[in-house]
Amino acid sequence: MNTSDDLPSPVPALFPARGARERVDDLLTRELANANERIARGSVMPRLDMARFRQELAGFDFERPQSVEQLLAWSVAQLEHGAVHMTHPRYFGLFNPAPVAPSQWADRIVSAFNPQLASSGSSPAPVEIEAHVIRAIARRAGLPADAAGHFTASGSEANYTSLICALTRAEPRFSAEGVRAFSGPVALYTSRECHPAWSKIAHQAGVGRSALRLVATDGNGRMDSHALAGVVARDREQGVVPVLIAATAGTTGGGMIDPLASCAAVARSQGVWYHVDAAWGGAALASERLRGLLAGIELADSLTIDAHKWFATTMGCGMFVLRDAAVLSEAFRVATDFMPSNASSLDPYLTTVQWSRRFLGLRLFLSLAAAGWIGYGAHVERAVEVIAQVKSRLQARGWQAINDSSLAVLCVVPPAETGEIREIVRNLLSSGRAWVARSTFEGREVIRICATHGETTLADVDELVSALHTAG
Ligand SMILES: *Cc1c(COP(=O)(O)O)cnc(C)c1O
Protein backbone atom coordinates (compact mmCIF):
# COMPACT_ATOMS: atom_id res chain seq x y z
CA MET A 1 0.00 0.00 0.00
CA ASN A 2 1.19 3.49 -0.83
CA THR A 3 1.56 5.28 2.47
CA SER A 4 3.13 8.50 1.16
CA ASP A 5 0.78 11.28 0.25
CA ASP A 6 2.20 11.46 -3.28
CA LEU A 7 0.80 9.70 -6.35
CA PRO A 8 2.68 6.98 -8.22
CA SER A 9 4.80 8.39 -11.09
CA PRO A 10 3.18 8.50 -14.51
CA VAL A 11 3.94 5.47 -16.68
CA PRO A 12 7.04 6.55 -18.63
CA ALA A 13 6.34 4.30 -21.63
CA LEU A 14 3.08 6.19 -22.07
CA PHE A 15 4.13 9.63 -20.86
CA PRO A 16 7.86 10.01 -21.52
CA ALA A 17 9.68 13.05 -20.18
CA ARG A 18 10.23 15.88 -22.60
CA GLY A 19 13.84 15.06 -23.51
CA ALA A 20 13.14 11.39 -24.18
CA ARG A 21 10.10 12.30 -26.16
CA GLU A 22 11.91 14.76 -28.40
CA ARG A 23 14.62 12.21 -29.16
CA VAL A 24 12.01 9.72 -30.32
CA ASP A 25 10.11 12.38 -32.29
CA ASP A 26 13.28 13.37 -34.14
CA LEU A 27 14.29 9.77 -34.76
CA LEU A 28 10.87 9.02 -36.19
CA THR A 29 10.94 12.07 -38.45
CA ARG A 30 14.25 10.92 -39.96
CA GLU A 31 13.21 7.28 -40.23
CA LEU A 32 9.99 8.18 -42.03
CA ALA A 33 11.82 10.38 -44.53
CA ASN A 34 14.29 7.57 -45.21
CA ALA A 35 11.51 5.04 -45.63
CA ASN A 36 9.71 7.35 -48.02
CA GLU A 37 12.79 7.56 -50.26
CA ARG A 38 13.28 3.80 -50.22
CA ILE A 39 9.62 3.26 -51.13
CA ALA A 40 9.88 5.43 -54.24
CA ARG A 41 12.84 3.32 -55.44
CA GLY A 42 11.34 -0.04 -54.55
CA SER A 43 8.27 -2.13 -55.21
CA VAL A 44 4.75 -0.67 -55.15
CA MET A 45 3.53 -4.00 -53.82
CA PRO A 46 4.04 -5.49 -50.36
CA ARG A 47 6.98 -7.87 -50.09
CA LEU A 48 6.28 -9.22 -46.65
CA ASP A 49 6.55 -12.90 -45.84
CA MET A 50 3.13 -13.11 -44.23
CA ALA A 51 3.78 -16.43 -42.49
CA ARG A 52 6.80 -15.00 -40.74
CA PHE A 53 4.99 -11.77 -40.03
CA ARG A 54 2.07 -13.58 -38.36
CA GLN A 55 4.51 -15.52 -36.22
CA GLU A 56 6.20 -12.29 -35.13
CA LEU A 57 2.86 -10.70 -34.46
CA ALA A 58 1.75 -13.66 -32.36
CA GLY A 59 4.86 -13.06 -30.25
CA PHE A 60 3.37 -9.80 -29.01
CA ASP A 61 1.58 -11.14 -25.96
CA PHE A 62 1.81 -7.77 -24.17
CA GLU A 63 3.10 -9.42 -21.04
CA ARG A 64 6.48 -7.62 -20.98
CA PRO A 65 6.99 -3.94 -21.87
CA GLN A 66 9.37 -3.42 -24.81
CA SER A 67 11.66 -0.68 -26.07
CA VAL A 68 9.63 1.92 -27.89
CA GLU A 69 12.48 2.72 -30.30
CA GLN A 70 12.47 -0.89 -31.44
CA LEU A 71 8.68 -0.95 -31.63
CA LEU A 72 8.62 2.16 -33.79
CA ALA A 73 11.29 0.74 -36.10
CA TRP A 74 9.29 -2.49 -36.29
CA SER A 75 6.08 -0.59 -37.11
CA VAL A 76 7.72 1.48 -39.84
CA ALA A 77 9.19 -1.69 -41.34
CA GLN A 78 5.80 -3.45 -41.41
CA LEU A 79 4.28 -0.49 -43.23
CA GLU A 80 7.24 -0.28 -45.56
CA HIS A 81 7.00 -3.93 -46.52
CA GLY A 82 3.45 -4.91 -45.67
CA ALA A 83 1.13 -2.60 -47.60
CA VAL A 84 0.53 -1.36 -51.14
CA HIS A 85 2.25 2.03 -51.32
CA MET A 86 -0.04 4.97 -51.92
CA THR A 87 3.11 7.07 -51.61
CA HIS A 88 4.82 5.35 -54.54
CA PRO A 89 4.84 7.56 -57.66
CA ARG A 90 3.73 4.59 -59.75
CA TYR A 91 0.67 3.78 -57.68
CA PHE A 92 -1.98 4.50 -60.34
CA GLY A 93 -4.68 3.38 -58.02
CA LEU A 94 -8.04 3.70 -56.42
CA PHE A 95 -8.21 7.44 -55.59
CA ASN A 96 -5.96 6.88 -52.55
CA PRO A 97 -3.47 9.72 -52.59
CA ALA A 98 0.10 10.27 -51.58
CA PRO A 99 -0.80 12.67 -48.77
CA VAL A 100 0.25 16.31 -49.04
CA ALA A 101 2.69 17.60 -46.44
CA PRO A 102 0.46 20.25 -44.79
CA SER A 103 -2.11 17.56 -44.03
CA GLN A 104 0.52 15.42 -42.32
CA TRP A 105 1.58 18.41 -40.28
CA ALA A 106 -2.03 19.07 -39.39
CA ASP A 107 -2.32 15.51 -38.07
CA ARG A 108 0.72 16.08 -35.91
CA ILE A 109 -0.69 19.28 -34.44
CA VAL A 110 -4.09 17.73 -33.85
CA SER A 111 -2.59 14.63 -32.26
CA ALA A 112 -0.67 16.80 -29.82
CA PHE A 113 -3.75 18.71 -28.65
CA ASN A 114 -6.36 16.01 -29.23
CA PRO A 115 -9.28 18.43 -29.17
CA GLN A 116 -12.80 17.02 -28.88
CA LEU A 117 -14.81 18.44 -31.75
CA ALA A 118 -18.20 17.19 -30.62
CA SER A 119 -19.03 20.62 -29.29
CA SER A 120 -18.09 24.20 -29.92
CA GLY A 121 -18.04 24.66 -26.16
CA SER A 122 -15.01 22.31 -25.96
CA SER A 123 -13.33 23.41 -29.17
CA PRO A 124 -14.51 26.85 -30.22
CA ALA A 125 -11.62 27.61 -32.60
CA PRO A 126 -11.40 24.16 -34.27
CA VAL A 127 -15.17 24.04 -34.83
CA GLU A 128 -15.04 27.42 -36.56
CA ILE A 129 -12.02 26.49 -38.66
CA GLU A 130 -13.92 23.45 -39.96
CA ALA A 131 -17.04 25.48 -40.65
CA HIS A 132 -14.96 28.07 -42.49
CA VAL A 133 -13.42 25.45 -44.79
CA ILE A 134 -16.83 23.89 -45.46
CA ARG A 135 -18.27 27.31 -46.40
CA ALA A 136 -15.33 27.94 -48.73
CA ILE A 137 -15.96 24.60 -50.46
CA ALA A 138 -19.70 25.32 -50.64
CA ARG A 139 -19.08 28.74 -52.20
CA ARG A 140 -16.60 27.27 -54.64
CA ALA A 141 -19.32 24.79 -55.69
CA GLY A 142 -21.75 27.67 -56.20
CA LEU A 143 -24.05 26.91 -53.28
CA PRO A 144 -25.74 29.83 -51.50
CA ALA A 145 -23.84 31.79 -48.85
CA ASP A 146 -25.72 30.14 -45.98
CA ALA A 147 -24.88 26.60 -47.08
CA ALA A 148 -23.27 24.55 -44.33
CA GLY A 149 -22.02 21.06 -43.58
CA HIS A 150 -19.25 19.25 -41.79
CA PHE A 151 -16.27 16.97 -42.09
CA THR A 152 -16.95 13.23 -42.08
CA ALA A 153 -14.79 10.17 -41.63
CA SER A 154 -15.40 9.23 -45.25
CA GLY A 155 -17.36 9.78 -48.42
CA SER A 156 -19.55 6.88 -47.40
CA GLU A 157 -20.50 8.67 -44.17
CA ALA A 158 -21.28 11.80 -46.18
CA ASN A 159 -23.44 9.84 -48.65
CA TYR A 160 -25.19 8.13 -45.74
CA THR A 161 -25.85 11.55 -44.24
CA SER A 162 -27.47 12.67 -47.49
CA LEU A 163 -29.93 9.78 -47.31
CA ILE A 164 -30.81 10.51 -43.68
CA CYS A 165 -31.37 14.18 -44.59
CA ALA A 166 -33.50 13.24 -47.60
CA LEU A 167 -35.68 10.90 -45.52
CA THR A 168 -36.00 13.47 -42.75
CA ARG A 169 -37.09 16.19 -45.13
CA ALA A 170 -39.42 13.96 -47.14
CA GLU A 171 -41.43 12.85 -44.10
CA PRO A 172 -41.55 14.78 -40.81
CA ARG A 173 -42.60 11.62 -38.97
CA PHE A 174 -39.53 9.69 -40.20
CA SER A 175 -37.67 10.91 -37.12
CA ALA A 176 -40.09 9.21 -34.73
CA GLU A 177 -41.42 6.30 -36.78
CA GLY A 178 -38.70 5.45 -39.26
CA VAL A 179 -39.65 4.23 -42.72
CA ARG A 180 -43.03 3.05 -41.38
CA ALA A 181 -44.03 6.71 -41.53
CA PHE A 182 -44.02 6.72 -45.35
CA SER A 183 -47.15 5.97 -47.34
CA GLY A 184 -45.28 3.29 -49.29
CA PRO A 185 -41.82 1.78 -49.76
CA VAL A 186 -39.16 4.44 -50.33
CA ALA A 187 -36.58 4.45 -53.13
CA LEU A 188 -33.30 6.17 -53.92
CA TYR A 189 -31.76 6.52 -57.35
CA THR A 190 -28.23 6.50 -58.60
CA SER A 191 -26.56 5.02 -61.66
CA ARG A 192 -25.22 1.58 -62.46
CA GLU A 193 -21.73 3.09 -62.30
CA CYS A 194 -22.24 4.49 -58.80
CA HIS A 195 -20.05 3.70 -55.82
CA PRO A 196 -21.01 0.27 -54.44
CA ALA A 197 -21.25 1.59 -50.87
CA TRP A 198 -24.72 2.94 -51.74
CA SER A 199 -26.16 -0.53 -51.17
CA LYS A 200 -24.66 -0.68 -47.67
CA ILE A 201 -25.99 2.81 -47.04
CA ALA A 202 -29.52 1.71 -47.99
CA HIS A 203 -29.15 -1.21 -45.61
CA GLN A 204 -27.74 0.91 -42.75
CA ALA A 205 -30.43 3.55 -43.09
CA GLY A 206 -33.12 0.89 -42.76
CA VAL A 207 -34.71 1.46 -46.16
CA GLY A 208 -33.29 -1.85 -47.38
CA ARG A 209 -30.99 -2.64 -50.24
CA SER A 210 -33.93 -3.20 -52.59
CA ALA A 211 -34.76 0.51 -52.24
CA LEU A 212 -31.67 1.32 -54.30
CA ARG A 213 -32.45 1.82 -58.01
CA LEU A 214 -29.44 1.56 -60.30
CA VAL A 215 -30.43 3.68 -63.29
CA ALA A 216 -29.12 2.83 -66.76
CA THR A 217 -26.10 4.67 -68.14
CA ASP A 218 -25.57 6.19 -71.56
CA GLY A 219 -22.87 3.81 -72.80
CA ASN A 220 -20.17 6.22 -71.64
CA GLY A 221 -20.54 5.67 -67.91
CA ARG A 222 -22.96 8.54 -67.18
CA MET A 223 -26.43 8.28 -65.73
CA ASP A 224 -29.10 8.48 -68.44
CA SER A 225 -31.35 11.27 -67.15
CA HIS A 226 -34.30 10.19 -69.34
CA ALA A 227 -34.06 6.71 -67.90
CA LEU A 228 -33.91 8.31 -64.46
CA ALA A 229 -37.10 10.29 -65.07
CA GLY A 230 -38.79 7.13 -66.34
CA VAL A 231 -37.84 4.98 -63.35
CA VAL A 232 -38.96 7.65 -60.87
CA ALA A 233 -42.29 8.12 -62.65
CA ARG A 234 -42.97 4.36 -62.81
CA ASP A 235 -42.14 4.01 -59.13
CA ARG A 236 -44.58 6.78 -58.24
CA GLU A 237 -47.35 5.09 -60.22
CA GLN A 238 -46.77 2.00 -58.11
CA GLY A 239 -47.00 3.77 -54.79
CA VAL A 240 -43.26 3.93 -54.16
CA VAL A 241 -42.00 7.13 -52.50
CA PRO A 242 -38.84 8.50 -54.22
CA VAL A 243 -36.67 10.27 -51.63
CA LEU A 244 -33.20 10.79 -53.07
CA ILE A 245 -31.50 11.17 -56.44
CA ALA A 246 -27.71 10.89 -56.20
CA ALA A 247 -25.73 11.85 -59.29
CA THR A 248 -22.02 11.07 -59.40
CA ALA A 249 -19.45 13.67 -60.41
CA GLY A 250 -16.42 11.53 -61.12
CA THR A 251 -17.42 7.88 -61.05
CA THR A 252 -15.14 5.52 -59.21
CA GLY A 253 -14.74 3.18 -62.16
CA GLY A 254 -14.32 5.60 -65.03
CA GLY A 255 -14.08 9.16 -63.71
CA MET A 256 -17.28 10.09 -65.56
CA ILE A 257 -19.56 12.96 -64.61
CA ASP A 258 -23.32 12.37 -64.70
CA PRO A 259 -25.35 15.11 -66.44
CA LEU A 260 -25.68 17.12 -63.25
CA ALA A 261 -28.12 19.75 -64.50
CA SER A 262 -30.53 17.28 -66.16
CA CYS A 263 -30.52 15.06 -63.08
CA ALA A 264 -31.20 18.17 -60.98
CA ALA A 265 -34.17 18.99 -63.21
CA VAL A 266 -35.64 15.52 -62.66
CA ALA A 267 -35.15 15.85 -58.90
CA ARG A 268 -36.70 19.31 -58.85
CA SER A 269 -39.74 18.31 -60.90
CA GLN A 270 -40.28 15.31 -58.60
CA GLY A 271 -39.64 17.22 -55.38
CA VAL A 272 -36.87 14.79 -54.48
CA TRP A 273 -33.66 15.57 -52.57
CA TYR A 274 -30.78 16.02 -55.03
CA HIS A 275 -27.36 14.85 -53.92
CA VAL A 276 -24.14 15.05 -55.92
CA ASP A 277 -21.52 12.48 -54.98
CA ALA A 278 -18.30 14.25 -55.96
CA ALA A 279 -16.17 12.26 -53.52
CA TRP A 280 -13.18 12.26 -55.85
CA GLY A 281 -14.14 14.62 -58.71
CA GLY A 282 -15.10 17.53 -56.45
CA ALA A 283 -11.47 18.62 -56.28
CA ALA A 284 -11.77 19.71 -59.92
CA LEU A 285 -13.56 22.76 -58.51
CA ALA A 286 -10.09 24.06 -57.63
CA SER A 287 -9.11 24.35 -61.27
CA GLU A 288 -10.31 27.31 -63.35
CA ARG A 289 -9.84 25.16 -66.43
CA LEU A 290 -11.74 22.10 -65.16
CA ARG A 291 -14.40 23.41 -62.79
CA GLY A 292 -16.82 24.04 -65.66
CA LEU A 293 -17.05 20.24 -66.08
CA LEU A 294 -18.98 20.20 -62.80
CA ALA A 295 -21.61 22.72 -63.98
CA GLY A 296 -24.92 21.82 -62.32
CA ILE A 297 -23.27 20.93 -59.00
CA GLU A 298 -24.58 24.26 -57.67
CA LEU A 299 -28.13 22.87 -58.00
CA ALA A 300 -27.51 20.16 -55.42
CA ASP A 301 -29.30 19.99 -52.08
CA SER A 302 -26.18 18.28 -50.77
CA LEU A 303 -22.69 17.26 -51.83
CA THR A 304 -20.07 14.71 -50.89
CA ILE A 305 -16.45 15.70 -51.44
CA ASP A 306 -13.60 13.68 -49.96
CA ALA A 307 -10.57 15.71 -49.00
CA HIS A 308 -8.69 12.40 -48.74
CA LYS A 309 -9.03 11.68 -52.43
CA TRP A 310 -8.00 14.30 -54.99
CA PHE A 311 -7.32 16.98 -52.38
CA ALA A 312 -4.81 14.41 -51.13
CA THR A 313 -5.17 14.89 -47.40
CA THR A 314 -4.49 12.00 -45.08
CA MET A 315 -7.30 9.47 -44.59
CA GLY A 316 -10.14 9.60 -43.70
CA CYS A 317 -11.35 13.06 -44.43
CA GLY A 318 -14.72 13.45 -46.12
CA MET A 319 -17.04 16.42 -46.35
CA PHE A 320 -20.80 16.75 -46.40
CA VAL A 321 -22.12 20.09 -47.67
CA LEU A 322 -25.77 21.07 -47.84
CA ARG A 323 -28.02 23.92 -48.89
CA ASP A 324 -30.42 23.89 -45.95
CA ALA A 325 -28.55 23.37 -42.69
CA ALA A 326 -31.78 23.13 -40.69
CA VAL A 327 -32.27 19.57 -41.95
CA LEU A 328 -29.12 18.44 -40.15
CA SER A 329 -30.37 19.86 -36.87
CA GLU A 330 -33.59 17.94 -37.34
CA ALA A 331 -31.90 14.71 -38.39
CA PHE A 332 -29.24 14.52 -35.66
CA ARG A 333 -30.81 16.33 -32.73
CA VAL A 334 -30.54 14.92 -29.25
CA ALA A 335 -31.12 16.26 -25.76
CA THR A 336 -28.35 16.04 -23.15
CA ASP A 337 -27.50 17.96 -20.05
CA PHE A 338 -23.84 16.93 -19.79
CA MET A 339 -22.48 18.41 -23.01
CA PRO A 340 -20.76 21.79 -22.91
CA SER A 341 -23.07 23.20 -25.57
CA ASN A 342 -23.14 26.65 -26.86
CA ALA A 343 -26.71 27.55 -27.67
CA SER A 344 -25.73 30.19 -30.22
CA SER A 345 -23.83 27.82 -32.50
CA LEU A 346 -24.30 24.49 -34.19
CA ASP A 347 -22.53 21.80 -32.27
CA PRO A 348 -21.26 18.94 -34.41
CA TYR A 349 -22.69 16.32 -32.04
CA LEU A 350 -26.14 17.80 -32.72
CA THR A 351 -25.79 17.98 -36.50
CA THR A 352 -23.80 14.92 -37.59
CA VAL A 353 -23.59 11.13 -37.41
CA GLN A 354 -20.57 11.14 -35.09
CA TRP A 355 -20.31 12.10 -31.43
CA SER A 356 -16.66 12.16 -30.32
CA ARG A 357 -14.90 13.63 -33.28
CA ARG A 358 -11.36 14.25 -34.45
CA PHE A 359 -10.31 17.64 -35.76
CA LEU A 360 -10.11 16.61 -39.42
CA GLY A 361 -10.67 19.98 -41.03
CA LEU A 362 -7.24 21.34 -40.17
CA ARG A 363 -5.84 19.04 -42.85
CA LEU A 364 -7.66 20.77 -45.68
CA PHE A 365 -7.49 24.19 -44.02
CA LEU A 366 -3.68 24.12 -43.88
CA SER A 367 -3.28 22.57 -47.31
CA LEU A 368 -5.70 24.95 -48.99
CA ALA A 369 -4.26 27.95 -47.17
CA ALA A 370 -0.70 26.95 -48.08
CA ALA A 371 -1.36 26.18 -51.75
CA GLY A 372 -4.41 28.32 -52.45
CA TRP A 373 -7.04 27.31 -54.98
CA ILE A 374 -4.36 28.02 -57.54
CA GLY A 375 -2.04 25.40 -56.06
CA TYR A 376 -4.77 22.79 -55.85
CA GLY A 377 -5.86 23.72 -59.37
CA ALA A 378 -2.33 23.00 -60.59
CA HIS A 379 -2.29 19.71 -58.65
CA VAL A 380 -5.53 18.55 -60.25
CA GLU A 381 -4.55 19.68 -63.75
CA ARG A 382 -1.22 17.90 -63.39
CA ALA A 383 -3.01 14.61 -62.68
CA VAL A 384 -5.18 15.09 -65.78
CA GLU A 385 -2.02 15.70 -67.79
CA VAL A 386 -0.34 12.57 -66.38
CA ILE A 387 -3.30 10.51 -67.58
CA ALA A 388 -3.30 12.22 -71.00
CA GLN A 389 0.34 11.19 -71.37
CA VAL A 390 -0.39 7.60 -70.32
CA LYS A 391 -3.29 7.49 -72.76
CA SER A 392 -1.39 8.76 -75.80
CA ARG A 393 1.55 6.43 -75.13
CA LEU A 394 -0.69 3.39 -74.73
CA GLN A 395 -2.72 4.31 -77.80
CA ALA A 396 0.51 4.59 -79.80
CA ARG A 397 1.13 0.95 -78.82
CA GLY A 398 -2.30 -0.14 -80.01
CA TRP A 399 -4.17 0.00 -76.72
CA GLN A 400 -7.75 1.22 -76.81
CA ALA A 401 -9.25 3.79 -74.41
CA ILE A 402 -12.72 2.64 -73.31
CA ASN A 403 -13.86 5.62 -71.24
CA ASP A 404 -13.84 9.25 -72.31
CA SER A 405 -13.18 11.07 -69.05
CA SER A 406 -12.01 14.66 -68.84
CA LEU A 407 -10.65 13.87 -65.39
CA ALA A 408 -7.71 11.70 -64.36
CA VAL A 409 -9.03 8.16 -64.87
CA LEU A 410 -8.27 6.03 -67.89
CA CYS A 411 -9.88 2.68 -68.68
CA VAL A 412 -8.04 0.75 -71.38
CA VAL A 413 -7.94 -2.63 -73.04
CA PRO A 414 -4.77 -4.07 -74.54
CA PRO A 415 -4.33 -5.11 -78.18
CA ALA A 416 -5.16 -8.80 -78.59
CA GLU A 417 -1.53 -9.91 -78.97
CA THR A 418 -0.50 -8.32 -75.65
CA GLY A 419 -2.52 -10.77 -73.61
CA GLU A 420 -5.44 -11.11 -71.23
CA ILE A 421 -6.27 -8.31 -68.83
CA ARG A 422 -6.29 -10.62 -65.84
CA GLU A 423 -2.80 -11.89 -66.70
CA ILE A 424 -1.42 -8.45 -67.46
CA VAL A 425 -2.58 -6.99 -64.17
CA ARG A 426 -1.40 -10.01 -62.19
CA ASN A 427 2.04 -9.94 -63.79
CA LEU A 428 2.35 -6.18 -63.43
CA LEU A 429 1.51 -6.29 -59.73
CA SER A 430 3.86 -9.14 -59.04
CA SER A 431 6.65 -7.24 -60.81
CA GLY A 432 6.02 -4.40 -58.33
CA ARG A 433 6.85 -1.85 -61.06
CA ALA A 434 3.46 -0.10 -60.88
CA TRP A 435 -0.05 -0.55 -59.52
CA VAL A 436 -3.21 -0.45 -61.64
CA ALA A 437 -6.63 -2.03 -61.13
CA ARG A 438 -8.57 -4.62 -63.02
CA SER A 439 -12.07 -3.20 -63.25
CA THR A 440 -15.18 -2.99 -65.37
CA PHE A 441 -16.54 -0.02 -67.25
CA GLU A 442 -20.02 -0.22 -68.78
CA GLY A 443 -19.93 -3.96 -68.23
CA ARG A 444 -16.63 -4.42 -70.05
CA GLU A 445 -13.45 -5.69 -68.40
CA VAL A 446 -10.79 -2.98 -68.42
CA ILE A 447 -7.53 -1.92 -66.86
CA ARG A 448 -8.15 1.18 -64.77
CA ILE A 449 -5.37 3.71 -64.35
CA CYS A 450 -5.75 6.80 -62.16
CA ALA A 451 -3.20 9.51 -61.32
CA THR A 452 -3.17 9.78 -57.55
CA HIS A 453 0.39 10.87 -56.76
CA GLY A 454 1.24 14.55 -57.07
CA GLU A 455 4.89 13.87 -57.98
CA THR A 456 4.57 11.23 -60.71
CA THR A 457 7.08 12.05 -63.47
CA LEU A 458 7.17 11.32 -67.20
CA ALA A 459 9.79 8.67 -66.42
CA ASP A 460 7.19 7.02 -64.16
CA VAL A 461 4.66 7.21 -66.99
CA ASP A 462 7.14 5.55 -69.37
CA GLU A 463 7.90 2.86 -66.82
CA LEU A 464 4.17 2.17 -66.35
CA VAL A 465 3.54 1.96 -70.06
CA SER A 466 6.47 -0.32 -70.71
CA ALA A 467 5.62 -2.48 -67.69
CA LEU A 468 2.00 -2.81 -68.84
CA HIS A 469 2.91 -3.54 -72.42
CA THR A 470 5.32 -6.31 -71.47
CA ALA A 471 3.24 -7.79 -68.65
CA GLY A 472 1.10 -10.12 -70.78
C1 LIG B 1 -14.51 6.81 -52.92
C2 LIG B 1 -15.91 7.10 -53.28
C3 LIG B 1 -16.94 6.95 -52.34
C4 LIG B 1 -16.70 6.37 -50.98
O5 LIG B 1 -15.91 7.25 -50.24
P6 LIG B 1 -15.06 6.70 -49.00
O7 LIG B 1 -14.36 7.93 -48.55
O8 LIG B 1 -14.12 5.67 -49.57
O9 LIG B 1 -16.00 6.15 -48.02
C10 LIG B 1 -18.20 7.29 -52.72
N11 LIG B 1 -18.46 7.76 -53.94
C12 LIG B 1 -17.51 7.91 -54.88
C13 LIG B 1 -17.87 8.44 -56.23
C14 LIG B 1 -16.19 7.58 -54.57
O15 LIG B 1 -15.23 7.72 -55.50
Q: Mean pLDDT check: name the lowest of 251-255, 291-295, 317-321, 331-335.
A: 331-335
For the CA of 248, the nearest atom of ligand 1:
13
Pairing type for strands 409-413 and 400-401 reads: antiparallel
Q: How confident is the model at residue 343 (pLDDT cuts 50, 70, 90)?
A: low
Residues with CB under 6 Å of ligand 1 are 95, 154-156, 159, 195, 197, 248, 252, 277, 279-280, 306, 316, 318
Region 158-168: mean pLDDT is: 98
Q: pTM for the complete prediction?
A: 0.96
Residue 219 has pLDDT above 60, yes or no: yes
The radius of gyration of the chain's CA atoms, rounded to the nearest angstrom, is 24
Give all strands (DSSP E) within 254-339, no chain letters. Answer: 273-277, 302-306, 318-322
Give pLDDT, residue 4. Answer: 74
Q: Which of 160, 161, 195, 314 to mutate to test the pocket of ligand 1 (most atoms within 8 A of CB)?
A: 195
Of 431, 429, 449, nearest to 439 (Cα)? 449
- Residue nearest atom 3 of ligand 1, based on CA coordinates: 155
Q: How confident is the model at residue 3 (pLDDT cuts 50, 70, 90)?
A: low
Residue 2 has pLDDT above 60, yes or no: no
Mean pLDDT of the chain: 95
Give pLDDT, residue 22. Answer: 97
Q: Percentage of the chain with pLDDT > 70?
A: 98
Read off φ and ψ for residue 15, nearest 5 degrees: -130, 70
Residue 417 C-alpha to ligand 1 middle, in angstroms?
35
Residue 340 has pLDDT above 90, yes or no: no
Residue 341 has pLDDT above 90, yes or no: no
The strands making up 409-413's β-sheet, listed across from edge to edge, are 400-401, 409-413, 444-450, 437-441
Region 264-286: mean pLDDT is: 98
Region 360-386: mean pLDDT is: 98
Give pLDDT, residue 335. Answer: 79
83 C-beta neighbours (distance < 10 Å), count:
12
